[in-house]
A and B are shown apart, each in its own frame.
Chain A
Amino acid sequence: MAPLNYYLVLSAVIFAIGVAGVIVRRNVIVILMSVELMLNAVNLTFLAFARSFGSMDGQVIVFFVMTVAAAEAVVGLAIIIALFRHRRSLDPREMQLLKW
């Protein structure tokens, strides 16, 4: 097994890629996917620490993060579908009115 630090650096890099994706992309679906990437980077950190401390709590938290990610994806995609019906676009710049 690789040392803890390697996992932490890797998860920081993945998290940063996710952040970059949210900033640079002009498509709400890809933005949502970048958020999933960030959640997974956090999961990796949790599991690395859980392994390092030898405690199962980290794994249970990852379990909850997955549940929340599933709920988030479902509601997010439903919002995207509803928005697409009104605006005919997936560009977040078209969604600045903050109303339907």
Chain B
Amino acid sequence: MTLFIILAVLTVVSSLLVIFQRNVVHSAVALVAALFFIAVLFLTLDAPMIGILQVLVYAGAIMVLFLFVIMLLNPAALEPRQIPWWTLGSAAALLLVFLLMPALLNTVAPRQAAPAGPGFGSPELLGQTLFGSFVLPFEIASVLLLVAIIGAVVLAKKES
């Protein structure tokens, strides 16, 4: 419980930093921190495999890609802060939280989960589920990745 509160505060603070920092690199580093804390939250939900994959995929690959593109383009100017948009954005976000809350809190899911079964969240069980009932989505995901690779190369290639 204490652990959850600490992690939740850290996650929310670093998420807020992502959108409040005017420097893009600072935003990206704050996002790395937020994703890391979310990975630890995954661990508290008995999903060690997913938590480690989160660090590996996000911190190791996606965020490196983001930082790489930021440094490649090197946008020097800090973006100006526009008060009307900030008011609108904050209002929309608050409204969204209030709209989501009743929907999320009226679930049929048990409020306090029973102790996890043996091997819950382990690589073995994840693999069995993945290659059992989810084998078709898995293959489609591999095609999606291939399409993404080719698309990225085509888009970012310099026109000769």
Chain A interface (Cβ within 8 Å of chain B)? 1-21, 23-27, 29-30, 32-34, 36-37, 40, 43-45, 47-54, 56-57, 59-60, 62-64, 66-75, 77-82, 84-85, 90-91
The reply to whether A7 and B12 contact each other, CB–CB distance below 8 Å, is: no
Q: Which of B11, B44, B79, B112 has the most CB of A within 10 A?
A: B11
Pairs A-B, 10 closest by C-beta atoms: A71-B148, A24-B89, A23-B89, A21-B19, A20-B93, A2-B4, A78-B155, A78-B152, A16-B93, A8-B104
Q: Produce 1/0 per residue, B113-148, CB < 8 A to A.
A: 110110011000110011001100110010011011
Pick 9 A–B contacts, CB within 8 A, sort by A: A5-B105, A7-B45, A8-B104, A21-B18, A44-B41, A52-B110, A75-B148, A77-B65, A78-B153
Bound Cα distance from A74 to B19, whole angstroms: 21
A27-B24, A56-B126, A78-B156 are contacts. A70–B42 as well, Cβ < 8 Å?
no
| Closest beta carbon of chain B to A91's beta carbon, Å | 8
Interface size class of B (residues with CB under 8 A): 35 or more
Q: B82: shortest Cβ distance to chain A, in Å? A: 7
Known contacts being A7-B45, A64-B141, A81-B69, is A75 close to B109, with CB within 8 Å?
Answer: no
- Interface residues of A, dominant DSSP: helix
